């Protein structure tokens, strides 16, 4: 008998069906990957096992854990199971810990509750488990508060809480989605080790097929509350018997068709002149599963836009820095200034798509803010279309702003919910020299909406009437309405499901081609960088440490930072290949 | 921490200066001549002029302001025009009634409101929740003097447990004096408790939707444990803010209740002083209240830091 057996589980919240006839089982020591897009019922399945569903939820079917009928268990019985035999890790480490309690208190609390241990004993055990998850006491005493830790460290605390009593089953609901790739790799490795050490069952929930393939022995694919396919991971994903499985796999590795930009850069630049080493990832046995498009024919490579001199860059950033004053240590002493961006120089040609890649906190967004003239650099100069931006006031910045727009990560938070689409999308029009009439304005909004694949009559709707992907289309419509020369996109697809992400990437590629917009694509996702950009810049601790054609840099990274990113980035094809190889 | 405190104290001092200018000028603009009021309607112009001279009312306004503000700094509040006693003495007499009353009311409102708020939040949407929040709604809506009259009718007239009004003074003994303050404190506390209970409930409900509550539940903590140990402290910030505002109100905003119960408190002192154009008393008492509000706000800010470690100043 399996550790966890779910049979014919159906769930309704009020009258809305959420799950239908879910079957799923996990053995001790096994990792089960649960994959699906948002709203497919992944989290609800997990919360059913924990019996932490919303009040209005009604579950039917059978859920048995270690011989216990979960759906019939009393709340008291569940309180005994939760945190002791079943642990759970959540997606958002920044909010998963109580801000007013120390990490020691929070880890020890569950230990005391379940074992009745004294405070001192519980703290000793808390110390051990925190040490195990990589937070040794010398550096991270129990008296730390969550806000004193970074996101990755907080996720380690959450894992410590979940694993403190060596549960038989660990449920991890998107445990690494909010983390950058390097941290993601570390956390996944930790989970893997904990599973092996304690023969724990792990239910790993994720929308990222590559992550699940790396980790899971078996995989269950969920869509609209129903199981589409379930089976051994590598086999399921290499056969792709179910059409939805194929669709997911294709979307995860989707590369939009686009012409390669004629690169103005002579070659590659990197900060650490280490001897270039070959990358094992290019081993032919592993790339044969790759569905990456073949190298594009050379005749497709178009010269950059007409009219603009090939030598004149659209954006030219010279030795730019942004320092934040250090915290005051005492009345007379200040800590050294923190240099978020440190002496960065680069340029972007018209129509060129450049990726800015780096770990969280490396200064990517600060750099983008300065380019958009939303933040003033403390040193250096930014020139856009031949004009210096630095030190100008808003009025003189207007023409530049017209030619430079932005798309943000969160398609939910970047619109005022009380305004209609017409008003939201036409917002940048005030930057035009001649204000359009009301009729002209509607015409321009309609054109922009059509450009991004929405209908013209969508302009009379409110943002909440659109899905996440459609909202991101709205953000893009807003960004292109003034016909800008440069669009800065800050993680524009990382909040989207894979199939929608593929569509939005197509849209970006299409606009790049048709309108000749140059992109600065800020992302921590190398797959996205590969898919949509000609050039990549790797940023690390405020500096750009490596730069060159995207494929080349990502295939043969030279700097340590780039190597770390590439090594940590999950790759679906590599992961499948490795799994198949392991099984012979 | 010390630099934070110094900064806050400096801001407080500046607020006091600005407040003193505002209070002084507003009262100067008000119609009515204190000298004439003191002497009555039949006094001759010459007598009024002599008194004005004596009271310093003929001096230029800036000089009078500096004189008054300087006095405040040395805790010399001047002399009341009508009572002819030092204002400090008058205020001291009244504070011993108003301050205990305010503290009692604040205590009562807190011990009623927080359990009711927690009770309601725990049973969100249930009949008990609807009932207690309905009661709170009524508590907010009904004026406190009406409560006061009902309380007097039940406890003083009918049950004869406490006096219906008046204050015997603390010399009469601790119990008789406190007894006289019970009904007014309850009458003051109920509407405040109603507001505070609603704030507590909504703050708790917001916190109960947070991710860390789910983490605590996933640890195996029962609901009630999570509520008291994890949620309540996080919900305290808005509750403390309201408490701070309420204390200021309870100290001075009690004119009506003091009148209903015939208590010689600060509220009545201001009221009488205004009707008698006893400017010096009004100015001094208002400044005292401003200072109290500043101090209370500072204490509330400091208590935020105790509740929430994120607000502590990093060393």
Quick one: fold of B88-311? MetI-like fold (1.10.3720)
8 A C-beta contact, residue A142 and residue A102? yes
pLDDT of residue A278: 39
Separation between Cα atoms, residue A228 and residue A230, nearest integer Å: 7
Which residues have CB under 8 Å from A583's CB, separation 6+? A234
Q: Among B220, B223, B233, whose Cβ lies nearest the Cβ of A110?
A: B220
Contact criterion met (CB < 8 Å) for B309 and A97 = no
Interface of A with B (CB under 8 A): 50, 52, 75-76, 79-84, 87-88, 90, 92, 95-101, 106, 109-110, 113-114, 145, 147, 158, 161-162, 327-328, 331
Interface of B with A (CB under 8 A): 3, 210-212, 214-223, 229-230, 233-234, 307-310, 314
Q: How many CB atoms lie within 10 A of CB A207?
A: 21
Chain centre distance of CA B130: 30
Q: Which residues of A461-495 are buried (b: 16+ CB within 10 A; e: fewer)?
A: bebeebebbbbbbbbbbbbbbbebbbbbbbbbbbb
Mean pLDDT per 10-residue section of chain A, whose length is 584 residues: 92 90 94 90 92 89 93 93 93 89 94 93 94 90 90 91 93 88 90 92 92 93 93 90 90 80 55 42 40 40 42 88 76 75 92 91 89 90 88 84 88 85 91 88 92 89 86 91 92 83 89 90 88 92 92 92 90 86 77
8 A C-beta contact, residue B126 and residue B200? no
Q: At what angle do helices B61-73 and B279-307 cross, to 10 degrees?
A: 50
Separation between Cα atoms, residue A423 and residue A442, nearest integer Å: 9
pLDDT of residue A97: 94
pLDDT of residue A500: 83
* Sign of CA pseudo-dihedral A315, A316, A319, A325: negative
Size of interface A-B (CB pairs under 8 A): 76
8 A C-beta contact, residue A227 and residue A221? yes
Q: Among B211, B218, B307, whose Cβ lies nearest the Cβ of A100?
A: B307
The string of DSSP codes covering B168-204 is --GGG-HHHHHHHHHHHHHHHHHHHHHHHHHHHHHHH
Q: Are strands A379-384 and A387-388 parallel, antiparallel or unpaired?
A: antiparallel
Per-residue pLDDT tens for B244-253?
A: 888 878 876 6
Q: Which residues of B touch A51 (CB under 8 A)?
A: none
The string of DSSP codes covering A10-53 is EEEETTEEEEEEEEEEE-TT-EEEEE--TTSSHHHHHHHHHT--
8 A C-beta contact, residue A82 and residue B217? yes
Cα(first)–Cα(last) distance of chain A, in Å?
28
As a three-state string, the secondary structure of A532-557 is: HCCEEEEEECCEEEEEEEHHHHHHCC
Q: What residue in B sits closest to A165 (Cα-Cα)?
A: B219
Cα(first)–Cα(last) distance of chain B, in Å?
8
CA atoms within 13 A on the CB side of B144: 24
Host H or E run for residue A243: helix A243-252
Mean pLDDT of chain B: 86
Q: Which residues of A288-323 are buried (b: 16+ CB within 10 A; e: fewer)?
A: eeeeeeeeeeeeeeeebbeebeeeebbbbbbebbbb
8 A C-beta contact, residue A496 and residue A472? yes
Chain centre distance of CA A489: 14
Contact criterion met (CB < 8 Å) for A100 and B234 = yes
Chain centre distance of CA A421: 27
Mutate to test the interface with B, among A50, A55, A89, A99 (most CBs of B within 10 A): A99
Q: Are strands A31-35 and A68-69 parallel, antiparallel or unpaired?
A: unpaired
Q: Which residues of A touch B212 (CB under 8 A)?
A: 95-99
Separation between Cα atoms, residue A50 and residue A80, nearest integer Å: 11
Which residues have CB under 8 Å from A394's CB, separation 6+? none
Host H or E run for residue B239: helix B236-252
8 A C-beta contact, residue A554 and residue A536? yes
Confidence tier at B36 by pLDDT (50, 70, 90): confident
Separation between Cα atoms, residue A169 and residue A83, nearest integer Å: 10
| Ramachandran area for residue A203 (φ above 0: left; ψ -120 to 50: alpha; else beta) | beta
The strand order across the sheet containing A353-358 reads: A269-270, A543-549, A535-540, A353-358, A518-523, A486-490, A404-407
* Sign of CA pseudo-dihedral A498, A500, A503, A508: negative
Separation between Cα atoms, residue B63 and residue B79, nearest integer Å: 17
Per-residue tokens: B77: 């509040």
pLDDT at residue B54 is higher than 90: no
Q: Among A75, A90, A113, whose Cβ lies nearest the Cβ of B214?
A: A90
| Ramachandran area for residue B169 (φ above 0: left; ψ -120 to 50: alpha; else beta) | left
Contact criterion met (CB < 8 Å) for B220 and A81 = yes
Q: Is B153 in a helix, a strand, or coil?
A: helix
Host H or E run for residue A219: strand A218-223
8 A C-beta contact, residue A580 and residue A234? yes
Residues B64-70, mean pLDDT to the nearest whole number: 85
Separation between Cα atoms, residue A275 and residue B63, nearest integer Å: 82
By C-alpha distance, which of A165, A44, A47, A150 is closest to A97? A150
The residues of chain B that CATH labels 1.10.3720.10 are 88-311
Contact criterion met (CB < 8 Å) for B3 and A331 = yes
pLDDT of residue A288: 39
∠ CA B208-B211-B216 to the nearest 5 degrees? 75
By C-alpha distance, which of A39, A67, A69 is closest to A59? A69
Contact criterion met (CB < 8 Å) for B221 and A331 = no
| Ramachandran area for residue A454 (φ above 0: left; ψ -120 to 50: alpha; else beta) | beta
Q: Among B212, B234, B310, whose Cβ lies nearest the Cβ of A96?
A: B212
Separation between Cα atoms, residue B100 and residue B105, nearest integer Å: 8
Per-residue tokens: A337: 């200034």
CA atoms within 13 A on the CB side of B95: 11
pLDDT of residue A294: 42
8 A C-beta contact, residue A205 and residue A174? yes
ipTM over 0.85: no
Q: How many residues are present in chain B? A: 315
What single-letter DSSP state applies at residue A302?
B
Q: Are strands A86-89 and A218-223 parallel, antiparallel or unpaired?
A: unpaired
* A521: β partners: A355, A489
Per-residue pLDDT tens for B269-308?
A: 888 888 887 888 888 888 888 888 888 888 888 888 888 8
- Least confident interval from A58-72, A82-96, B81-95, B187-201: B81-95
Separation between Cα atoms, residue A353 and residue A256, nearest integer Å: 13
Separation between Cα atoms, residue A474 and residue A487, nearest integer Å: 14
8 A C-beta contact, residue A330 and residue A307? no
Q: Among A147, A161, A331, whose Cβ lies nearest the Cβ of B219?
A: A161
Task: Give Rg (Cα) of chain A.
Answer: 26
Q: How many CB atoms lie within 10 A of CB A16?
A: 10
Per-residue tokens: B175: 């119990």
Separation between Cα atoms, residue B278 and residue B37, nearest integer Å: 9
Q: Which carries the bigger pLDDT value, residue B58 or residue A376?
A: A376
Contact criterion met (CB < 8 Å) for A83 and B308 = no
pLDDT of residue B27: 76
């Amino acid at each position: 008998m399996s550790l966890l057996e779910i049979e014919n589980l159906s769930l309704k919240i009020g009258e809305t069906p959420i799950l239908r006839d879910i079957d799923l089982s996990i053995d001790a020591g096994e990792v089960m990957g649960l994959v699906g897009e948002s709203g497919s019922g992944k989290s609800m399945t997990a919360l059913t096992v924990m019996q932490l569903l919303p009040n209005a939820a009604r579950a039917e079917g059978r859920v048995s854990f270690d011989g216990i009928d979960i759906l019939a268990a009393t709340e008291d019985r569940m309180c005994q199971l939760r945190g002791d035999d079943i642990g759970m890790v959540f997606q958002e480490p920044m909010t998963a810990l109580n801000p007013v309690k120390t990490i020691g208190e929070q880890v020890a609390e569950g230990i005391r509750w379940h074992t009745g241990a004294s405070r001192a004993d519980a703290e000793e055990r808390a110390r051990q488990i925190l040490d195990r998850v990589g937070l040794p006491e010398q550096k991270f005493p129990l008296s730390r508060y969550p806000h004193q830790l970074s996101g990755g460290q907080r996720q380690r605390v959450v894992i410590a809480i979940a694993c403190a009593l060596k549960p038989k089953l660990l449920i991890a609901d998107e445990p690494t989605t909010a983390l950058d790739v390097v941290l993601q790799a570390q956390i996944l490795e930790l989970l893997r080790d904990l599973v092996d050490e304690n023969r724990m069952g792990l239910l790993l929930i994720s929308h990222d097929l590559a992550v699940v393939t790396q980790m899971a022995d078996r995989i269950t694919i969920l869509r609209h509350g129903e199981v589409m396919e379930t089976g051994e991971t590598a086999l399921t994903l290499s056969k792709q018997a179910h059409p939805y499985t194929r669709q997911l796999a294709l979307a995860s590795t989707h590369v939009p068709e686009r012409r390669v930009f004629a690169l103005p850069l002579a070659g590659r630049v990197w900060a650490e002149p280490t001897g270039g080493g070959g990358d094992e990832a290019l081993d032919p046995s592993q790339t044969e599963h790759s569905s990456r498009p073949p190298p594009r024919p050379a005749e497709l490579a178009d010269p950059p836009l007409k009219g603009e001199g090939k030598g004149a860059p659209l954006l030219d950033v010279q030795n730019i820095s942004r320092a934040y004053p250090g915290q005051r240590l005492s009345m007379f002493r200040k800590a050294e200034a923190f240099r978020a961006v440190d002496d960065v120089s680069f340029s972007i040609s018209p129509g060129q798509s450049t990726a800015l890649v780096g770990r969280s906190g490396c200064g990517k967004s600060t750099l983008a803010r300065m380019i958009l003239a939303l933040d003033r650099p403390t040193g250096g100069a930014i020139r856009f279309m031949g004009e210096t931006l630095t030190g100008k006031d808003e009025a003189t910045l207007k023409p530049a702003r017209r030619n430079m727009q932005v798309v943000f990560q969160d398609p939910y938070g970047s619109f005022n919910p009380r305004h209609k689409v017409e008003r939201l999308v036409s917002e940048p029009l005030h930057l035009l020299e001649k204000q359009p009439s009301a009729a002209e304005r509607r015409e321009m909004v309609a054109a922009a909406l059509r450009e991004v694949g929405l209908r013209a009559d969508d302009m009379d709707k409110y943002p909440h009437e659109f899905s996440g992907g459609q909202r991101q289309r709205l953000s893009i419509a807003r960004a292109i309405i003034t016909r800008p020369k440069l669009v800065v996109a800050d993680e524009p697809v990382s909040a989207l499901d894979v199939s929608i992400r593929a569509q939005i990437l197509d849209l970006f590629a299409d606009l790049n081609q048709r309108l000749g917009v140059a992109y600065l694509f800020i992302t921590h996702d190398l797959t996205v960088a590969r898919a949509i950009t000609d050039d990549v810049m790797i940023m690390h601790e405020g500096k750009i440490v490596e730069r060159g054609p995207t494929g080349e840099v990502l295939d043969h990274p030279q700097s340590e930072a780039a190597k770390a990113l590439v090594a940590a980035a999950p790759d679906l094809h590599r992961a499948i290949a490795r799994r198949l190889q392991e099984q012979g | 921490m010390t630099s934070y405190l110094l900064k806050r104290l400096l801001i407080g001092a500046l607020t006091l200066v600005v407040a003193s200018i505002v209070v002084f000028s507003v009262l100067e603009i008000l119609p009515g001549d204190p000298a004439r009021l003191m002497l009555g309607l039949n006094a001759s112009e010459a007598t009024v002029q002599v008194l004005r001279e004596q009271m310093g009312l003929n001096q230029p306004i800036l000089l009078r302001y500096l004189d008054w503000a300087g006095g405040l700094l040395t805790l010399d509040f001047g002399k009341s025009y009508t009572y002819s006693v030092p204002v400090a003495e008058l205020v001291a007499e009244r504070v011993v009634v108003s301050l205990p009353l305010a503290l009692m009311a604040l205590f009562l409102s807190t011990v009623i409101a927080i359990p009711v708020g927690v009770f309601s939040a725990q049973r969100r949407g249930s009949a008990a929740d609807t009932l207690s929040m309905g009661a709170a709604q009524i508590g907010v809506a009904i004026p406190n003097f009406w409560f006061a009259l009902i309380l007097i009718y039940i406890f003083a007239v009918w049950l004869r447990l406490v006096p219906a009004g008046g204050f015997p003074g603390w010399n009469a003994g601790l119990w008789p004096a406190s007894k006289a303050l019970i009904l007014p404190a309850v009458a003051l506390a109920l509407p405040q408790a109603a507001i505070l209970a609603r704030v507590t409930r909504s703050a708790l409900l917001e916190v109960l939707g947070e991710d860390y509550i789910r983490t605590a539940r996933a640890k195996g903590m029962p609901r009630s444990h999570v509520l008291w140990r994890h949620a309540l402290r996080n919900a305290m910030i808005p509750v403390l803010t309201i408490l701070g505002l309420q204390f200021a109100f309870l100290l001075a905003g009690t004119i009506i209740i003091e009148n209903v119960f015939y208590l010689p408190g600060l509220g009545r002192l201001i009221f009488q002083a205004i009707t008698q154009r006893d400017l010096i008393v009004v100015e001094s008492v208002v400044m005292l209240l401003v200072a109290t509000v500043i101090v209370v706000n500072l204490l509330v800010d400091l208590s935020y830091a105790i509740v929430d470690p994120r607000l502590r100043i990093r060393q």
